[in-house]
Amino acid sequence: MEKYKIAVFVGSLRKESYNLKTAKALMALAPESLSLELVSIANLPMFNEDLEATPPQEWETLRDKIKAADGLLFLTPEYNRSVPGVLKNAIDVGSRPYGKNSWDGKPAAVVSVSIGDISGFGANHHLRQSLTFVNVPTMAQPEAYIGNATDLFDENGNLTNDSTKEFLRSFMEAFAKWVKTHLRK
């Protein structure tokens, strides 16, 4: 069976982040055809084109991890109806220098996770808009808006809601098919 390397990006830096807990749940529920790796963006210096002459090592590491991946999985909270700055910064860093977009053509999926009822809808769609510009074909269906996250995990960070588990399992199966279909060789 062919295995696809998936780079996982979490837009929340909080230690007890529900997005991070959901990312770990998705990794556990993924089909065997996917090999998922969390890619930290916590210490990524802010993009500044003046630094491109001698890019920070963190930028080069991020770009290498993106290039090595077959697909991308993004998890985002919603901050002020948009994506967190750290996630947008990662997209900017990965898309540069001009003409060397690391994201180009990588199939992706987006999951938004929130403690509220709206489930990060705004962030999900803002992220999709940025991904469109950097030429990342993003899975349209099924959509993944995970709301009321405080009720989904136990004190150890384990996903306890069975219907959410089943949804996330089917989401990852659909994502595996998306990656296989849209992967550039």
Q: For residue 182, how many other CB atoms are within 10 A of its CB? A: 17
Per-residue pLDDT reduced to its tens digit, 82-129 = 999 999 999 999 999 999 999 999 999 999 999 988 889 999 999 999
Half-sphere exposure of 12 (CA within 13 A, CB side): 22
Q: For residue 29, how many other CB atoms are within 10 A of its CB? A: 17
Banded model confidence at residue 20, pLDDT cuts 50, 70, 90 = very high
Per-residue pLDDT reduced to its tens digit, 47-56 = 999 999 999 9
Look-up: residue for tokens 């062919």?
Answer: 2
Q: Return the beta strands (E) in the chain as ranges.
A: 4-10, 34-38, 71-76, 108-113, 144-146
Question: In order of start, what are the domains of the chain with their CATH numbers?
Answer: 4-182 (3.40.50.360)
Please say whether the beta carbons of 115 and 138 come within 8 A: no
28's CB contacts (< 8 A; 6+ apart) are: none
Phi and psi at residue 125, to the nearest 5°: -80, -30
pLDDT at 128: 97
